[in-house]
């Protein structure tokens, strides 16, 4: 397991404006919690953290005032475009503690069914696992080279590293190789001559009937 | 009226309202593998959505799958030409969806990334708001 080095500093001022000023300086607001201790507000270097994020590293070594400690990246809050991180949750953990994390599933190989026109549809992109902190895999590779047409890979068929337990149902589907369907739009469109010119107004018919009865 | 609209509504006409803030829901690729995300606020009406759908289905040639993530729920009224002001609100002219920055408008699945990129670029040309290509990815 690789651990990314991230520089940080203590943070006392809270609130929207203080955090905006922090982000303009190239820092990200973060909070450290866990192990029954009081939560601590810190600011971490955005540049360092984005390198760790890009490398899919779940554990970072945060250096605050010369003291370095390892933390688990518990949650990352993104902006509305899901592009830039705006806040980080860090959790205090021991090296031999079992933790629950989400790991990316990577499909490897070209399925045998592709020669017959089959296409891979990936239904599960992340796998929730429980393992030791020191044994968190960066990604989990799924070999799909053997997949024929209309064959699939389930969670139970995964070969997970030792000590890693999947938290999904064993029957959950990861990917399937099948012939492409005709393009189907999920939202049916009301076009053409059969389409109603105006939608029905809820309660209007009942009200009209009521008016007629009164007359 | 071209395109889709609700089957049943509680009220025939609605007030104009404001379009503030960013999308806090519907801003992730959830169904397909690639998506088209709005970067500006705006009204995407039923005709825009229909134009995007037709462009995608022509381009993909019955391959893959297209998901439409927005629906025109909001009626927009208009008065006929050469009519004086007053005498009440106009009739419903078209239906639109209010799009905030970050909203995923379309998704494509079951095709290669290059094909999805080209397809979503064609859809983006039909949209009244600036858009960007989005990939479903792993988040820590």
For A118-176, the pLDDT digits (tens) are 888 888 888 999 999 888 888 899 999 888 888 999 999 998 888 899 999 999 999 99
β-bridge pairing B131-135 and A37-45:
unpaired
The two three-digit tokens of residue A169, written as one number: 């149902």
CB-nearest partner of A80 from B8, B27, B140:
B27
- Checking if the pLDDT of B110 tops 90, the result is no
Q: From the CA of B46, how many Å to the nearest CA of chain A?
A: 9
Residues 6+ apart with CB under 8 A from A176: A120, A121, A123, A150, A151, A152, A153
Amino acid A212: pLDDT: 55
* Residue A71 near residue A35, CB atoms below 8 Å: no
pLDDT for A205: 61
Report the DSSP beta bridge partners of residue A119.
Answer: A178
> C-alpha B78: how far from its chain's center?
21
3-state secondary structure of B126: helix
pTM: 0.81
Best of A78, A82, A122 to substitute, by most chain B Cβ atoms within 10 angstroms, is A82
CA dist., res. B73 & res. B98, Å (int): 8
- Cβ within 8 Å, pair A80-B64: no
Cβ under 8 Å to A: B residues 46-105: 50, 53, 56-57, 60, 62-68, 71, 92, 100-102
The pLDDT assigned to A91 comes to: 94
- pLDDT given at position A211: 57
User: How many residue pairs bridge chain A and chain B with CB atoms within 8 Å of each other?
Assistant: 107
Residues A1 and A134: beta-carbon distance below 8 Å: yes
Across chain B, mean pLDDT equals 92
Q: Is the pLDDT of residue B38 over 90?
A: yes
DSSP state of B28: S
> How far from each other are the two terminal CA atoms of chain B, in whole angstroms?
45
| Predicted confidence (pLDDT) at residue B23 exceeds the cutoff of 60 | yes
Contacts of B37 in chain A (CB under 8 A): 81
Residue ranges in chain A whose pLDDT is less than 50: 183-184, 188-195
B14 touches chain A (CB under 8 A): no
pLDDT at A56: 84
Q: Which residues pair with A72 in a beta bridge?
A: A59, A91
**C-beta atoms surrounding A37 within 10 Å:** 9
**Residue A122 near residue A174 (C-beta atoms within 8 A):** yes
Instruction: Give the pLDDT confidence score for residue A20 in this predicted structure.
Output: 93
| pLDDT higher than threshold 70 for residue B97 | yes
Q: What's the angle, vertex CA A16, arms to CA A15 and CA A22, rounded to 5?
A: 90
pLDDT one-digit tens code per residue, B47-93: 999 999 999 999 998 788 899 999 999 999 999 999 999 999 999 99
What gap in Å lies between CA A91 and CA A32, rounded to an integer?
A: 6
Q: Hey, are the CB atoms on A185 and B28 less than 8 Å from each other?
A: no
Residues forming beta bridges with residue A127, ordered by sequence position:
A103
Cα separation, B49 vs B54, whole angstroms: 9
Identify the pLDDT of residue A138. 85
What pLDDT does A181 receive?
62
């Amino acid at each position: 397991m690789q651990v990314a080095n991230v520089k940080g500093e203590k943070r006392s001022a809270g609130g929207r404006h203080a955090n905006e000023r922090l982000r303009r300086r190239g820092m990200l607001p973060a909070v450290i919690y866990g192990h029954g201790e009081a939560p601590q507000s810190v600011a971490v270097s955005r540049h360092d953290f984005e390198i760790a994020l890009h490398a899919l590293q779940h554990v970072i070594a945060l250096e605050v005032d010369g003291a370095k400690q390892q933390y688990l990246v518990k949650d990352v809050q993104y902006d509305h475009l899901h592009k830039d991180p705006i806040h980080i949750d860090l959790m205090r953990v021991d090296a031999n503690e079992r933790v629950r994390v989400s790991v990316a599933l990577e499909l490897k190989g070209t399925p045998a069914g592709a020669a017959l026109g089959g296409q891979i549809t990936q239904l599960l992109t992340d796998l929730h696992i429980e393992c030791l902190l020191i044994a968190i895999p960066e990604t989990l590779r799924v070999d799909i080279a053997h997949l024929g047409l209309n064959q699939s890979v389930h969670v139970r068929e995964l070969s997970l590293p030792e000590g890693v337990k999947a938290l999904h149902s064993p029957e959950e589907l990861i990917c399937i190789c099948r012939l492409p369907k005709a393009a189907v739009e999920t939202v049916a469109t009301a076009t053409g001559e059969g389409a109603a010119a105006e939608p029905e107004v809820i309660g209007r018919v009942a009200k009209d009937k009521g008016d007629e009865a009164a007359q | 009226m071209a395109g889709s609209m609700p089957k049943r509504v509680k009220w025939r006409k609605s007030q104009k309202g404001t379009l503030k803030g960013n999308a806090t829901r519907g801003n992730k690729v959830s169904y397909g593998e690639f998506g088209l995300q709005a970067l500006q606020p705006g009204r995407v009406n039923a005709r825009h959505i229909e134009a995007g759908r037709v462009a995608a289905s022509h381009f993909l040639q019955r391959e893959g799958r297209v998901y439409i993530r927005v629906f025109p729920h909001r009626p927009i009224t208009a008065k006929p030409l050469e009519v004086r002001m007053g005498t009440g609100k106009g009739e419903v002219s078209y239906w639109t969806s209010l799009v905030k920055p970050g909203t995923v408008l379309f998704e494509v699945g079951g095709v290669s990334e290059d094909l999805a990129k080209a397809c979503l670029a064609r859809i983006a040309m039909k949209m009244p708001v600036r858009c960007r290509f989005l990939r479903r990815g792993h988040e820590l």
